[in-house]
Amino acid sequence: MKKETPEIVVTEDGSKTLYLPELKEHYHSSYGALQESRHIFIESGFKATASNACSLTVLEMGFGTGLNALLTFIEARKMGLKKVHYLGVEAFPVEKEYWLQLEYPTLFEDKDAGDIFLKMHESPWDLPYFISEKFVLNKILGDFTSMSFKEASFDLVYFDAFAPDLQPELWSAEVFSVIYKALRPGGILMTYSAKGSVKRALQSAGFVIEGLPGPPGKREITRATRPSAT
């Protein structure tokens, strides 16, 4: 997929997202960028994983606009987690002129949200960077299909690639098998897609699938769990 020039779009909950005209694809739901990310990745994924943990290691497929990372930082601080290691893989980084216009920090009451968001985007690629004492961000520049990860090294995966029709190579059983091995037993993968082919690919990789209610504009989302060791 080649790099496109995005447009800024205001979604129905008042938050903004990016739209790629040539692909006819939004980075987030047009029904609400903030509520979609919060519902799928924080409420259904992060909270479920972090409820019995003092630290967490998160892998995001597609760092994109940085909204999921910012939401995770804010929620982790709210929950009092001692440490979060956050690894985001991105093939086509969003340029500064666009992520600045999204104005995500204004959506939060946290007074330092702007500083945190700026640090996340301006942190170096391919190096761990302390956003705070308790949150380490490592942005990896590259193609997810060529990545390899240490076995059983993640607690949670945000799988937020573009739609399966646009990037079918990312929604394959082969990619999900790599993620399955990288997850710790009991770890989960969250995605907005509830497509049948995606569920079958996840199951083929060994995941146990749950269909959960989606955010506005989406009937169902998918939570996939690597079974705990017996």
Say if CB 35 and CB 26 are below 8 A apart.
no
CA 108 to CA 69: how far, in whole Å?
A: 14
pLDDT tens column, 169-186: 999 999 999 999 999 999
Q: What architecture does CATH give domain 34-225?
A: 3-Layer(aba) Sandwich (3.40)
- Assign residue 15 a region: left if phi > 0, alpha if psi is -120 to 50, beta otherwise? beta
Other CB atoms within 10 A of residue 47 CB: 12
pLDDT tens column, 115-136: 999 999 999 999 999 999 999 9
SS3 144: helix
pLDDT tens column, 135-153: 999 999 999 999 999 999 9
User: What's the pTM value of the predicted model, to 2 decimals?
Assistant: 0.95
CA 26 to CA 36: how far, in whole Å?
A: 12
